[in-house]
Amino acid sequence: MSIQESFTRYWVRVLRRFLVDATPWARDNIAFAGLALLLPLAIVYLRDRHHQVDWELIKAALLFYAISLAAYGGVHLLRTPWKMDREQTQAVNRLTEEAGSLRRQAADRQPKLAVELRELLFLESEYPKEVFVRVSLENERPDSICTVDEYELSFTIGDHTYRSREIVHDLNDFVAIAIGGGEAARKTPVSEDLSDLVAGITHSDPVRYGAPRYGWIHFSFPDLSKMVRSFCSADHAEICVFDPFGGCAKSGLDLRAEKPIRRIESTRWDGTVRWV
């Protein structure tokens, strides 16, 4: 739309608004007064066409009405854009307040996720790097439910941070094995099937208040530089859980202090399994 078209449409709206606002007063005060002046003259003329009429008085009255109408119309025409702008500003302010109120109400009802990174195990081949994390997820806001949009795992190795949001849904192919200290424990290791936390949280089964969820997430780092030989040298790990409302729950683990006490084994993978 050109500037000329916008200008024309604007003044069309101004004229329409001017007619809507100015017509009632002009009709009640100018048109009715003119009719009250001319109607008696018409009646007298019909009854007695030779009756003398003070035309100077009639002309003066009509001139007064015309000047009043012109003055009223001019002033009102100048005020119409100002009135339209004021009403638009008031409408914008009202909508802004309503939007702010709705945002505050939504914030009061918005779920508040809390995540805890409980365990972290590595399955390392030459390439890519695979990481398994065991987390707990809880909705801390009553009367609210929430799903999860995305998960992100990051590692800090020296001055570099590596991130991944690529999740692999193949946890049925892996088990976590407890590392025992004695011969009996090695002969009869305790294994645990890995439950898929991501697959368990859906729109039909969201995270509810008072019902925390526990499970594993399998992250893959396919774009990780081959110069990173092992995650075993990582200093810190952090998981971020993003909800549909833009919130982000975080939990970290200091890998210099926390060491895994179990290992990950695959029921199908033939490579080498290592753990810290």
Residue that terminates a domain, selected from 109, 127, 161? 109
Q: What are the tens digits of pLDDT across the range 13-54?
A: 888 887 787 777 777 677 777 777 677 767 776 777 777 766
Please give the Cα distance from 276 to 252 (Å, whole number).
17
Of 109, 136, 159, the position where a domain reaches its end is 109
Asked if residue 202 and residue 243 are part of one domain, the reply reads yes
Which of 80, 70, 72, 74 lies closest to 10, judged by CA? 80
- pLDDT at position 274 over 50: no
Does residue 271 sit within a domain?
no
Would you say 181 and 189 are in contact if contact means Cβ atoms under 8 Å apart?
A: no
Judgement on whether residues 84 and 189 belong to the same structural domain of the protein: no
pTM of the model: 0.58
| β-pairing verdict for 236-242 and 207-208 | unpaired
pLDDT over threshold 90, residue 152: yes
So what's the pLDDT on residue 185? 37
pLDDT digits 0-9 by tens, 153-196: 998 887 888 888 888 888 888 887 765 544 433 344 556 778 88
Does a structural domain hold residue 66? Answer: yes
Query: Are residues 53 and 99 part of one domain?
Result: yes
